[in-house]
Chain A
Amino acid sequence: MNAKLPPGLTNSLHSLLVLVGIMFLVSSLSPTRVEGLGEFPAALRASWFLGSLALLSGVLGLHVGVAEASWWRGLYRPCPHPLRRLATGCCLGVGLFLPFLVGFRALSGAPWSGLPGLVSLLLASSYAWAVVGRWTLEALKSEGAGFALRYSSLALAHFLPLPFASPISPIVAALSLWETRLPGLVGIGVWGALGAVLSWRYLRWRRGSYLEA
Chain B
Amino acid sequence: MVLLVVVLWAGMALGQVTIEATLGWGGIPVLDRVNPLWIEVANLGEELVAGELAVVGEVGTPWRGEARRSFSAPLAIPPRGQARFLLPWELARGTRELSITVLSPAGTALASLRLPIQAALTPLEGSVGPGPGIPLHPEELTDPILLHPFSRIRVAEGSGLGEEEWGVLASWAAWLGGELEAGGRRGRWGRPWPPREALEAALLGSRLPRPPLGPLVGALGAYLLGAGFALGGLARGRWALAGLFFGLSLALALFCPVLYKPATGAISFGISIVEESVPSMCLELLAITAARPQPWQGEGWWWELLPAAPGGWEGRDLCWSLGPHGPQTSLQLRPGQVRVLWRLTTPAAPPQGEHRFRLAAARGWVVRLDDDREGLATHLLPPPLLPFWEYLQASLLPGDSFSFAISHTQRGPDLSWQASLSLPPP
Contacts and interface: CB of A to CB of B under 8 A. Distances in A.
A19 to B, nearest CB: 11
B204 A14 contact: no
Contacts of B257: 106
B205 A95 contact: no
B159 to A, nearest CB: 49
Interface stretch (B177-185, B248-256, B373-381): B248-256
Contacts of A35: 204-205
Contact of B253 (A13, A25, A34, A99): A99
Interface stretch (B53-61, B82-90, B260-268): B260-268
Interface stretch (A2-10, A136-144, A150-158, A182-190): A2-10
A103 B262 CA distance: 12
Interface stretch (A36-44, A123-131, A199-207): A36-44
B254 A109 contact: no
Nearest to B216: A28
B213 interface: yes
- The majority secondary structure among interface residues of chain A is helix
A95 B253 CA distance: 13
Contacts of B260: 106-107
A82 interface: no
Sorting the interface of chain A by its residue count into under 10, 10 to 19, 20 to 34 or 35 or more gives 35 or more
A103 to B, nearest CB: 5
A25 B239 contact: no
Interface in A57-90: none
Contacts of B205: 33-35
A28 B337 CA distance: 23
A18 B220 CA distance: 9
Contacts of A7: 235
A14 B227 contact: yes
A42 B231 contact: no
B62 interface: no
B210 interface: yes
Interface string B129-161: 000000000000000000000000000000000
Contact of B235 (A10, A99, A107): A10
B336 interface: yes
Contacts of A33: 204-208
B220 to A, nearest CB: 5
6 contacts: A4-B236, A17-B224, A21-B224, A37-B290, A37-B336, A99-B253
Interface of A: 3-7, 9-10, 13-14, 17-18, 21, 24-25, 28-39, 41-43, 92, 95-96, 98-100, 102-103, 106-109
Given A4-B235, A25-B216, A42-B292, 11 more contacts: A6-B235, A33-B204, A33-B208, A34-B206, A37-B291, A37-B336, A38-B336, A95-B246, A98-B253, A99-B246, A102-B254
> Which are the 8 A-B pairs with shortest beta-carbon distances?
A38-B336, A106-B256, A109-B264, A99-B253, A35-B204, A109-B262, A10-B231, A102-B253
